[in-house]
Structures are given as structure tokens and as C-alpha cells.
Structure 1
Amino acid sequence: MAYAPKDLSVLVYANGFTLWHYTTQHDLTRVDEPGYFDGAADLVHVGDQITINAGGRNTFRFVEAVDSRAGTVRIGRPEA
């Protein structure tokens, strides 16, 4: 099983930025796999932040690239 649209929700939207919340039983390694969020390509935008509760771990990722025509989303970890 991959990304589940019902588990992605908007927490805050302002000035073209959206803070999302996503919860899943998958572990974080699975969520970080390329293509995991491809099903959200029509929702998310570059620069959006996704707060993730995955397999008992909490973290966040940024949307780095979206191609809505191809239906792809690339997320990245915050810079250290």
C-alpha cells in the first residue's frame, strides 16, 4: 500500500503556502521512497511542508518538485 489521500489534510493555508499533515502506519523509510506522494501531485505545491506521523515517528518534509502532468511529487528533508 502507498500514499492514502484520506490521510493527508490541510492544517494551515496562507499566502500560497500550505502546511499539511499526513499520518500512516508505514515506516518513515517507506514514506521517503521516491514516488510515495505522487498521488498528491494535484494538491501540493513546491515549498509546502508536510508534517508526517509515520510508523510511530514524527517528522516533516518539504515538497521540492511537482509535475502535475506526469503526476509526480518529490519531497525532501529539511536542510541541517
Structure 2
Amino acid sequence: QVLEAARCLDEGILKSKADAEIGAIMGVGFAPNTGGPLAWMDRRGVRAVVTALDALAAAHGPRYAPPASLRAMAETGERFFEAV
């Protein structure tokens, strides 16, 4: 779900980060008090998520490869949301 949320943002399927969060909470069952997939990636660390996705892609194919935008965020330390 985190990979698909990032891809959907890149492809313009989701118009905002809030759309990704609300859709995951209301449609998929992410806990409202913890946020959706983007907030989860912020808590886990985008770099750690990219590392895990790279390992999945190596083991199971390119469908698990992180998009370039997520890789760029990992390299710069960018987050989806400001830390509170």
C-alpha cells in the first residue's frame, strides 16, 4: 500500500497527500490515529522504506521497485509531512 500510494501521487491519480491518507484510512483500514501510508513512511523513514523495497525488487521483480521520487526523498531526507 505504501508503494502504491507513492506511485499514485507520482502519476497524478491522487491529487494531494491528504487524498492518499484519507483514502487509506477510509478505504483500506489504516488506523485514523496513526495516519495513512505516507505518515507511516515518515515514521519508518523513507530511506528505510526504499531499502526494503529495493530488497523486495531484487528478490521478486521490478514491480516492487520504488519510484524515482521516493528514491530522491530518501537521498535528501525529505518527508511527506512536517515533523510535529
Same fold, judged at TM 0.5 (above): no
State the TM-score bracket (shorter-chain normalisation): under 0.3
Larger Rg: 2
Could you say which structure has the higher strand fraction?
Answer: 1
TM-score (norm 1): 0.26
